Amino acid sequence: MQNMLMGRYISGDSIIHRMDPRSKLLVMIAFVVIIFLAHDWLGYLLLVLYTLAGVLLSKISVSYFLKGLRPMIGLILFTVIFQMLFTNGQHVIFSLWFIKISTESLINAVYIFFRFVLIIFMSTILTLTTPPLTLADGIEKGLGPLKKIKVPVHELGLMLSISLRFIPTLMDDTTMIMNAQKARGMDFGEGNLLKKIKSVIPILIPLFVSSFRRADDLAVAMESRGYQGGDGRTKYRQLKWKMRDSLLVVSIIIMTILLILWSKVS
């Protein structure tokens, strides 16, 4: 549970910490899109350098980014191996029955690996440098134009902020429940797959009960304070778009142009 970084924020005074969440969200979305424009080593080199620049500017230890990577290692390895074994290629370097590994499949598997890692690193930068409530405010502001078509933007932002706020709490509750079950003799690491699945039940039931109790307490607290939605409400923290945010957006635009031009040339 300690490796789960979603909803967690590491305070700091780096330039990435001080940026508007809207600019970071915009860059994150654009990065996920343009990563599929890279089709060779130079394209991925540009993306790696861009990501490393973000990691360095955030002034956050690399160990946190590796923690964010650990929960996804199984999925990454499965996808990479599947891509390597079942992608057709002309230059076969290993063949056994229906399995054929080619130079093209190996290269493609490496590219898939880099896509996963870079996206996880960029999302980790966003999560660790942006307080959950500020991130939710940024999403609400970004979706502001949808109010014209009667989309409940404030309610969506409220749900997101509450969800992000309670993710670390749920992780802490899970750890506490697991420790309590271990103290009673429960072993979560032994047995076959079926036994491991059954061992999750003593965790899920008290976790659900605790979650519903917290949700009920929160609803009562909001109602007792006269909460009536977003109409006429002001924000304690006002988001301000500054020059550094514009420069960040310009940087991803330049990266997009470079990748498009290189894909056409190559």
2-20 pLDDT tens trace:
555 655 788 888 999 999 9
Q: Which of 109-123, 200-214, 218-232 is most confident?
A: 109-123
In a domain, 165, yes or no: no
Q: How far is CA 6 from the centre of its chain?
A: 7
| Domain enclosing residue 253, as ranges | 1-130+240-266
**Residue 231, SS3?**
coil
Alpha-carbon gap, residue 264 to 15, rounded angstroms: 34
Q: What is the pTM of this model?
A: 0.76
Residue 206 pLDDT level (bands cut at 50, 70, 90): confident
In a domain, 94, yes or no: yes
Mean pLDDT score of the chain: 83
Element (H, E) at 226: none
Which residue from 36, 1, 109 is spatially nearest to 256, judged by alpha carbons? 36
**What are the residues whose beta carbons fall under 8 Å from the beta carbon of 205, sequence distance 6 or more?**
none
Q: Give the tens place of pLDDT for each residue, 42-81.
A: 889 999 999 999 999 999 888 888 887 877 888 888 888 8
In a domain, 265, yes or no: yes
What are the tokens at 35?
A: 């990563």
In a domain, 197, yes or no: no
In a domain, 159, yes or no: no
In a domain, 260, yes or no: yes
In a domain, 80, yes or no: yes
Rg, C-alpha atoms of the chain? 23
> What domain count does the chain have?
1
In a domain, 214, yes or no: no
